[in-house]
Amino acid sequence: MKSCPRCEASIDESARFCSQCGAPQNEAAAEELDQYVQRQAKQVAARSGGGGTSEGGNGESGDITAADIFGVAAEELTEREQLWRRGSYVVGYATIVIALTQITNPGAWFLLLGGIAILPPTRRLLGLPVGGTFKREAMAGLYAVFVILGVALFFV
């Protein structure tokens, strides 16, 4: 028996794919997998309106796509949007870390909520039920409210 180069699981000599991780074991299997993935991508694109969606999602079909959850690719964002997204991650995760270091204080819970609220995936996931994403400004306002409440509780 040979082992899979990806996960090192024992596999049969004639196996085309690993039974543990699904990795192709030869060039023919890799090509077949690549063609399958391309066909699936075309089907998903056709069902979602024929192309990449904007950060607001398609809003028309009611189907949730990966772009709705994870957002558009970084190449499709403007420089300003990329800067906003990076800044949101930095501020959000920094706030979460600060909150976790002070978790015994009641104000830390508001800081934790604020840090989670400013993260871009949260903004998109909260907006799915209403068919889009929440505005960046709305989430920044929510972040500010939570941080002000948290800081006020730190000093009370």
Residue 127 or 27, more confident: 27
**pLDDT recorded at residue 133:** 66
**pLDDT recorded at residue 1:** 78
d(CA 20, CA 31): 19
How is the chain split into domains, by residue range? 71-156
- Percent of the chain scored above 70 by pLDDT? 78
Q: In this structure, what token pair is assigned to residue 72?
A: 């558009």
Among candidate residues 72, 66, 32, 35, the one with its CA nearest the CA of residue 48? 66
Task: Assess whether pLDDT exceeds 80 at residue 135.
Answer: no
Neighbours of 35 (CB within 10 A): 10
> Considering all CA atoms of the chain, what is the largest pairwise distance in Å, rounded to the nearest integer?
69
Q: What are phi and psi of 16, to 5 degrees?
A: -90, -30
Q: Is beta strand 10-11 parallel, antiparallel or unpaired with respect to 2-3?
A: antiparallel
**pLDDT recorded at residue 58:** 42
Task: Assess whether pLDDT exceeds 60 at residue 50.
Answer: no
Task: Tell me what the mean pLDDT of segment 19-43 comes to.
Answer: 84
